[in-house]
Structure formats: structure tokens, C-alpha cells
Copies of this chain bind each other. A is one copy, B any other.
Amino acid sequence: MEHILEDVRRDILPGLTHWQSPRFFAFFPMNASSAGLAGEMLSVGLNVVPFVWAASPAAAELESVVVDWMARLFGLPRRFLFYSGGGGVLQGSTCEAVVCTLAAARDRALGRLGGHEAIARLVVYASDQTHATFQKGARLVGIPPSNFRVIRTSAASGYGLTAEAVRAAVDHDVGLGLVPLYLCATVGTTGLGAVDHVRELGEEARRHGMWVHLDAAYAGSAAICPDFQDYLDGAELADSVSMNPHKWFLTNMDCCCLWVARPRDLTSALSTDPEYLKNVGADDDGAGKAPAAIDYKDWQISMTRRFRAIKLWVILRRYGAAGMRAHIRRHVAAAKWFEQRVAADERFEVVVPRRFSLVCFRLAPRSGRDDDATNHVNRDLLAAVNASGRAFMTHFVVDGKFVIRLAVGGASTELQHVMEVWDLLQGKAAEVLQHYVKPNGL
């Protein structure tokens, strides 16, 4: 093992992108913690497979306890809790959750429409800010790619999807004889951290009998703080909600919480019951089986599954709600500090108002209006920062603007690191601006 670890150090580590560096501000950071590692070691060491209840009763039961805890901590409506008839599951990613809920919505609709041929008439709605996984998921479950509507958003709504825009698209489709199936509302989009108007969208979707999924993959973690729960207002109009503890909740990969209001919709689309999986330990009449026994294989794509519940349980026990709130607030405060510096520096501008811990900014156009030169200089600035090896950030493009994203979220990222990256940016900005002054007078 010593030789192997030496090879890891020499041959593998230098080629990795260091996601756990406090200077990692790219994508959304996937933060980790010692409690998360301990939880994973328990999961990996025990190596049990809670796919049917009998295959590890305590694992299945702990999972239903933990997802209820999470729902309560985030202030989700009661209908998503087990004790109110809803329920949750821990999956590996939002992508899986999306495929499962799309399949549930599809089968519910096909049942109503009375035939599988109707699949070609089903339409899924998202915004141009929605994560690409929804388009991929819709295609995966057999929705015609031409029936995936990407609705434009604009700066006026902070790049949030509006009910008005959805209504126009839906009315058009219904006029063509198509069937509105599924609408995705996002709280904290990947590109800009934008927030869709959940209540407004939920009301609109209900008018058409659409399934509403609320994707809070990144920003959902912020709802551990009561002051961020307003963003989830209207969640009771959703059919399903998902968020990823592995993004911003100190949870090592992988872990995605999916809650549904009517578990039956999900299990109808996903259940299997072959002989070799019949719950042993249960008598023929099910007498040996707990009344609320959950076979989680019917709540997800895969039969096989990891004991993720113990990881999330260890994390919740170790840090508690107060510890988690402090963690979230520390990152939000650092992002806020950075946003203020950007706003106060006339060379820069904040492109969309920050809501959580993501700041989207750029070097402002010298000419007062967008042009290719502005995009070029920002692209060069980002490349210069990343090439320094002292920070890693990624970009986004909105309304033709090349935007630099500073996503604060590393477990070990402190205000000090954000201050250092601001210094770095200022220095690199001076360099690239100097370079650009000459050729085109920017």
C-alpha cells in the first residue's frame, strides 16, 4: 500500500483539479468535511445494500428519518414528509432525481391519456437558465427532443422564469394539440444563481395539470437559515423537490435529497418485484415486515444503492443546525464582501445581483456598451487568474456577455481566501487592461 500511495502522490495528485482547495471557486464547489468522511467510511466499511427493506432494515429506516429531518430543517411543506403521506430518498445526483420524476410524471400522464403513443405529445418546460440535466433527462425518458421548451429569461426578472412566459409557451403548445407535462423551477441556477418564481410557476403549472419539480441543488442548502427559506415559498405547489447536500452541505459525494408529495407516483413508474427480491424475513402475508417498510429500489433508477443515510446522519449529528447555519453564513458573508468590492471598483461590474454565495461579475465595457473586446478582455482575465494557479474560477455567458463566476463554497474557504482572490483579480485586471489599451483603445 505504501508503494501505491507513493504513486498516487507522484503520478495522480499533480494531475487533479483540487476541488478541496480553499481557492477553488469554479462550477459549484462540492464541499466535504471530516464528518462526511467518517460517514462515508461507515457506509463503505459496512458496505450494506439497502435496496429492499429486509436487505438492511436500519439503513432503510434511517434514510426515511434523515430525509424527514432535512425537509424540516429546510422548512419544506409538510406534504413532502413521510408522516404526512409524502416522503424522500437519497440518490446520487439531481440528474437521477430528474429522470425519476420525469418518468413518474410521464407515466401518470400516459395513464390519463390512455395510450403509450401519447408520449410524442408530451412537453417539458424549462428556462434558458435551467440545468442541462433536465433536457438530458427528458430525452432519456423518451420525450421527443423537439418537445423540450427552453423559455427565455431576461435581466428584468433577474433571469428567473416567469409564469407569463410559461403561459405563452403552454398556450401555444396546447393550441397545437400537445400536452404540457412537466415544469422545472430552479432556486439558484448554475450559471447565475438566479431564482425562479416558485409560487407563480406552481400556480400556472397546476392550471395545466403539469408536474412541477423544484430544483434547489445548490441553493437549497441555504434554506437551513430561516432567512433564506423565503426563496422556497410556493414549494407546496410542487410535486417534487431536490437539493444536493454534496454541493454546499459539507457532505462528501454523492448525496442528493429527493422529496415527492405522492410516493405512489414515483414507485408506480419505478417498481419491480422479481422473485429473488421478495422480502425475506417477511412472512407471506407480510406480517414480518414493518408496516411502513420501504423498498428504496422502487424510489430510484438503480436497484443497488449505497448507505448514504448514515453519512448524512453523521453530518447532521456532528454539526447540527447551528453549525450548518454558521457554515452557510460564512460563505454568504464572504461572497457579499467580494460583491461589494467589485461594485466599488469602477473597472468592474456585478452582472446579476448576488443572492447566495455566487458572484457573477466582469470587467465593465469601456465603451459603455457590450462588445467583443469586453468579452475578450474578460476571457483573458479569467485565463490569467486560472493560469496563476492561485485560484480556479469558471465562466458563464448570458445575453452575449462573458461573465466570470466566483462560487464560494469550499469547506475550508474563509474570507481571507476571497480577499486574496480579489487582490489577484485586481493585479491581473491591470495587466490585461494594459494589454488591451494598445490594439483597440479599449
User: A215 on the interface (CB 8 Å rule)?
Assistant: no
Q: Is the CB of B19 within 8 A of A47?
A: yes
B27 touches A37 (CB 8 A): no
- Residues of chain B with a CB closer than 8 A to A16's CB: 46, 48, 56-59
Instruction: Identify 19 residue pairs between A and B in the complex whose beta-carbon atoms are under 8 Å apart, listed by A's number.
Output: A4-B317, A8-B42, A15-B61, A19-B55, A27-B55, A30-B49, A32-B45, A37-B45, A47-B252, A92-B302, A94-B302, A95-B302, A139-B269, A191-B274, A244-B304, A253-B304, A253-B306, A254-B304, A275-B397
Please name all residues of chain B whose beta carbon is closer than 8 Å to the beta carbon of A13 when the two chains form the complex: 58
Complex: A276 Cα to B14 Cα, angstroms: 24
CB closest residue in chain B, given A217: B304
* Complex interface: chain B residues within 8 A of A11 (CB): 58
Shortest CB–CB separation between residue A422 and chain B, in angstroms? 20
Known contacts A132-B303, A253-B306, A276-B396; A40/B35 CB under 8 A: no
Nearest chain-B residue to A284 (Cβ)?
Answer: B379
Given A92-B304, A142-B119, are A17 and B48 neighbors across the interface (CB < 8 Å)? yes
> Chain B: which residue is nearest A41 at the CB level?
B41
Per the 8 Å Cβ criterion, residues 247-262 of A in contact with B are: 252-254
CB A251 to nearest CB in B, in angstroms, measures: 10
Residues of B within 8 A of A140 (CB): 99, 103, 140-141, 269-270, 301
Residue of B nearest to A251 (CB): B47
Told that A15-B58, A27-B55, A275-B395 touch, could you supply 15 new A-B pairs with CB distance under 8 A? A4-B314, A8-B42, A8-B310, A15-B56, A32-B44, A40-B41, A93-B303, A93-B304, A116-B145, A132-B273, A140-B270, A190-B274, A191-B274, A253-B306, A280-B386
The smallest C-beta distance from A414 to any residue of chain B, in angstroms, reads: 18
- Nearest residue (CB) in B for A397 is B275
Whether A281 pairs with B386 at a CB distance below 8 angstroms is yes
Is A394 engaged at the interface, CB distance under 8 Å to the other chain?
yes
B191 and A275 form a contact (CB under 8 A)? yes
Set B27, B270, B314: member contacting A276, Cβ < 8 A:
B27
Chain B residues contacting A19 (CB-CB under 8 Å) are: 46-49, 55-56
Question: When each residue 361-391 of chain A gets 1 if its CB lies under 8 Å from chain B and 0 otherwise, what string results?
Answer: 0000000000000000000001000100000
A289 CB within 8 Å of chain B = no
Counting chain A residues whose Cβ lies within 8 A of the other chain, the interface size class is: 35 or more
Residues in B with CB closer than 8 Å to A302 are: 92-96, 133
Q: What chain B residues lie within 8 Å of A355 (beta carbons)?
A: none
**Among candidates B7, B15, B142, B318, residue contacting A57 with C-beta atoms closer than 8 Å:** B15
Give A20's nearest chain B residue, CB to CB. Answer: B47
Chain B positions within 8 Å of A163 at CB level: none
- Does A117 sit within 8 A of B, measured CB to CB? yes
Residue A75 at the chain B interface, CB threshold 8 Å: no
Contacting A141 at CB < 8 Å: which of B54, B57, B141? Answer: B141
In the bound assembly, the distance between CA atoms of A57 and B11 in angstroms comes to 12
Interface residues of A in 89-114 (CB under 8 A from B): 92-96, 99, 103, 106
CB distance from A248 to the nearest CB of B (A): 13
Which residues between 324 and 369 of chain A lie within 8 Å of chain B, taking CB atoms? none
Q: Which residue on B lies nearest to A379, using beta carbons?
A: B284
Q: Which residues of B contact A318 (CB under 8 A)?
A: 1, 4
